[in-house]
Chain A
Amino acid sequence: MPQLQNVVEQIENVVGTKYVTDSEPICYSYSMNCDSVLQGIPDIVVRPGTASEVSEILKIANKEKIKVIPRGGGADLTGGAKPIGNGGIVIDMTRMNKILDIDEANRIVTVETGISWSELCEKLSRVGIGYYTGSTGPASGFSATVGGGLSNNSLGGGGAAMYGTVTEQCVGLEVVLPTGEIIYTGAKANAFCEKPFTRFGLGADYSGLFLGDVGIHGIKTKASLKMYAIPEYAAYSTFEINGTKQESEAVIATKVMTKWQHKELPLHDFYYYTKTYINMLTLFGVKKNLANAGVKGGVLFYTTVADSQRALDYNVERIEKVTKEAGLRKLGPSVEEGNLGKWFYEEDGRWQWANIYWGLLGPEGTSLGTCLKCPTYQLPDYVKLYQEFANKHTKTMLDIGGGGVNFIVIGIHPCYIDITGGIMLHTDKRYREKQYEIWKELLIAQIKELGAVHYWMGEIIGRSLVDAGALTPEYYNFMISIKKALDPNKILCPGKFYLGDQY
């Protein structure tokens, strides 16, 4: 890196000496996300406090031709929040964590993007009649920031079946462009507009340019999100699904989920845990309640909300008519009787559920994420793909201290699903190349064989998309053109989308 000390001093002049460091152990601590396969150690880490400071840092980076990587909660699974290769400046956005405006009239909250989803929702819950963001961020929302969730097009923290992904809740952004200019998108692009209230108008959907972009187009410093009143009434039930000779468990689950979606039933959430996954949970004693309830098959649970008991009862009746017709066994109403829906909504916090994956493999275990979105009807095809992958690679995975592959399904509004899963492996540094190879092979299989849409756009996803030939030359060139126009010096997140060697 050119004149590291000089660059540090320039950044110190912007943020003060306290908030910038080139300390080796501190920089090392920013070299990984949730996986420990992808690693890149930055030269400098900085924690700016304002959009202007971010702007000044980017101007320095442009002048010195140093790569910059913005980072939120660092909770992503595919290398989105760490440098590709060593070097560069990581901008830790978590110091910018204020709630700037709660507009109850327009039901819009405006925040600095370094706030976590859990902190935001907890604080909103104590305002007025009590609010939340509907789709409440990724499953890592205890840690993940609003900026990270928007950059990764996330979901999983609850509410997705009713509200979709978090990006759908965004009505406007403040963005620092790679060259340092600060712009507003959405209604606030009109300098005379008092408060953000809609994402559209004033040209194309330029907010969209920065949503799901894994930070390559600009650094989001403020975001305006829709907010909703916390529902007064909620109900939840859990069902066991057992496959038959005629219909596999996945086929039955697909039918139920599709009916729920096509009938537009008021589901706040629904989740499907496969039989294999349930077997792991019960085997390892993670979910003793399911074992006690005698659950042998897969599990499907839902949550629904309403503003009156009568409306809630009506919701439940309509939702459970579908499960009854499918012949699913309803588990008891309490958590002890296996009601994962109640656990998820009342106890789990709606963010923690994914973490029961972690550690199943024991100490040093990790999960290499393969989460994707697909039409609901494709679920049985993905089951087959995962089975084939497992058959092919189980021995290799065991040889390098691995476990297996598995997933959970999350319902998304209006009629598609998230197959959220991964490969369980030990974080043995000796096998990093092999781990990377296996991981990428599964991602490419998902992309090529079933047209998967991997909404997290970190290092390995971008490479898999490009290497799979999934992006048409025209689309690829279109992406490069936009990137080139925004980031002429190629300093922001190079390699994250693998747009050729230079971007």
Chain B
Amino acid sequence: MRKVSETEGNLTNLTTVRSAALSCIHCGQCRVPHWPAKGIYYVCPVYKTEYTAKFEPFFARGKNIILKGLIWGDLSLNKEISEIFYQCTLCGGCEDFCHNAHNENIEFANHKWMSMVEVFEALRADLVEAGFALESHAAMNKAMVELLNPYMQDNKNKANWISQLNFKIKDANSENAEILYFVGCTAALTPQIQTVAIATAKIFNKLGVDFSVFGANEICCGSVAMRTGDRKAFNEVADKNAKLFAERGIKKIVTSCAGCYRTLKKDYGKRLEGIEILHTVEFLEKYFEDSNIALNKLDKIVTYHDPCHLGRHIGLYDAPRNIMKKIVTLVEMKTNREGALCCGAGGGVKKGFPNLALEISKNRIKEAEETGTKTLVSTCPFCFRNLSDGIKALGGDIEMVDLVELILKALT
């Protein structure tokens, strides 16, 4: 790796989280902690692979020292810093383990100074504004704004999965419903993952839930732009969505995508004030509790992957497990819940560094295989996609499913 020429850039976004950015004390415990009592055997999914040379910046401490260098004026934004900071899935593993961050796990209630995800995202925003966005990300975010999805597809394709249903669902563009089912771009536009959307719709239909979808008019939630630092692009789609939801009088949104869920729930802020945001598993857990609906116990032993955006970013660990307890036998992986290994797709890594995403995914699949189960369950289409790639790359026979697919079977 060689030095590259420096270019000055502003730190407008990083400055807003200056204290957090300076709060790392470099203890380095985010490198390779092994803490069986807490189920922690790794922190950084990137560092766990051999994709990088594992120099300091390829786990949180080194990045935090670079942040200090930037804030203190010792370093300037440049392409190389961009390459370093984008080789991070923003999974929050480091943040969840850090004693100077939000960490209820180790009871340091007052130590909420650090926030790696927030700080790294702020730096990414500065990098984008300084012209150091990754080319692949720039193209993706441009497509997201122009086509309303980051997959560079005609947004009409988002309605394709609906034609596979044998019942009619309400069109949110013109019909009112109690719930808006926000499908998300990955489930709507990836043929092999449309099963998530189809299963969700079938469950709602079976349960008699009054729901609607925007179909071809569904606008990307903006997660990819937010995570990769393109705040202008994010604001553009977020504002469009907020306007659309307001116009259509949406009061409750349910999504089966952990990424959309995190974005709508946390990143939209006041835009969605008054609208309840739920993940499907959260909605269904309560629904099953309240309705006493009988669920069949399937003859299936499964293991579960906690999506970072559902788990560490929001804290939703029990809802999927509570449902699984009713319908399958769950065997936990070595790392789970707060300590769960990331799938490798998030933070723009799948787009920017596909081979790194694949290596992380393979590590997660190996953990799944260690459980001896043949079915890997998740609750995020993007995790589904990357973990499926990992299964394929390893040539394993483990089956990848979304929890909604199992729920549908348990309802049949």
Asked whether, in the complex, the Cβ of A94 is within 8 Å of the Cβ of B54, the reply is yes
What residue in chain B is nearest A345 (Cβ atoms)? B37
Closest Cβ neighbor of B97 among chain A residues = A142
Chain A 423-438 against B: per-residue CB contact (8 Å), 1 yes, 0 no?
Answer: 0000101000000000
Query: In the complex the two chains form, is B65's CB within 8 Å of A31's CB?
Result: yes
Chain B binding surface SS class: loop
A450 interfacial contact with B, CB 8 Å: no
In the assembled complex, which residues on chain A have CB atoms less than 8 Å from the CB atom of B20? 363
Which residues in B have their C-beta under 8 angstroms from that of A118?
A: 32-35
B2, B34, B68, B81: which has the most chain A beta carbons within 10 Å? Answer: B34
Q: Is B27 within 8 A of A355, CB to CB?
A: yes
Given contacts A143-B29, A359-B100, contact A24 B75 (CB under 8 A): yes
Q: How many Å lie between the Cα of A358 and that of B66 in the bound state?
A: 20
Contact with B32, one of A18, A30, A116, A125 (Cβ below 8 angstroms): A116
Residues from chain A with Cβ under 8 Å of B23 in the complex? 359, 363-365
* B294 at interface, CB cutoff 8 A: no
Cβ of A45 under 8 Å from chain B: yes
Q: Which of A270-278, A283-291, A311-319, A325-333 contacts B (4 or more CB under 8 A)?
A: A283-291
Q: Which residues of A contact B69 (CB under 8 A)?
A: 25, 28
A and B contact pairs by CB, cutoff 8 A, 15 listed: A17-B1, A22-B3, A28-B65, A28-B75, A34-B25, A92-B56, A118-B33, A122-B34, A142-B35, A358-B99, A359-B110, A359-B111, A360-B110, A363-B20, A429-B72
Scoring B residues 249 to 281 as 1 if CB is less than 8 Å from chain A, else 0, what string do you get?
000000000000000000000000000000000
Query: Chain A residues near B36 (CB, 8 Å)?
Result: 122, 125
Q: How does the 8 Å CB contact mask read for B45-87 relative to A, with 1 for contact and 0 for none? A: 0000000011111000111011011001011001011001000
User: Total interface residues on B, using CB and 8 Å?
Assistant: 51
Interface size (A, Cβ < 8 Å)?
Answer: 60
Assuming the contacts A23-B2, A359-B110, A362-B113, asked whether A74 and B53 have C-beta atoms less than 8 A apart, the reply is no
CA distance A296 to B108 in the complex (A): 20
Residues of A within 8 A of B100 (CB): 358-359
Can you name 13 extra interface pairs (CB under 8 A) apart from A285-B110, A358-B111, A365-B23? A24-B80, A25-B84, A26-B55, A29-B55, A35-B26, A36-B26, A116-B32, A118-B32, A121-B34, A122-B34, A352-B29, A352-B99, A366-B25
Over the window 313-333 of chain B, the binary record of Cβ atoms lying under 8 Å from chain A Cβ atoms (1 yes, 0 no) is 000000000000000000000
Indicate if A279 sits at the interface (CB-CB under 8 A): no
Scan B77-117; emit 1 where CB is below 8 A from any A CB, else 0: 01011001000000000000001100000111111010000
Question: Is there a chain A Cβ closer than 8 Å to B151's Cβ?
Answer: no
- Do B1 and A116 have beta carbons less than 8 Å apart? no
Whether A349 sits at the interface, judged by CB under 8 Å, is yes
- The yes or no answer to B206 lying at the interface (CB within 8 A) is no
Q: Which among A29, A33, A121, A358 has the highest number of chain B CB atoms within 10 Å?
A: A29
Q: Distance (Å) between the CB of A459 and the closest chain B CB?
A: 15
Which residues in A have some Cβ–Cβ distance to B below 8 Å? 17-19, 21-26, 28-36, 45, 47, 73-75, 92, 94-95, 97, 116, 118-119, 121-123, 125, 140, 142-144, 284-286, 288, 346-349, 352, 355-356, 358-360, 362-367, 427, 429
Q: Which residues of B contact A363 (CB under 8 A)?
A: 19-20, 22-23, 113
CB contact under 8 A between A26 and B99, given known A34-B27, A359-B108: no
Most B Cβ at <10 Å: residue of A25, A33, A347: A25
Contacting residues, chain B, for A359 (C-beta < 8 A): 23, 25, 99-100, 108, 110-111, 113
Whether A364 touches B22, Cβ cut-off 8 Å, given contacts A29-B66, A116-B34, A288-B109, is yes
* Bound CA–CA A65/B37 (angstroms): 47
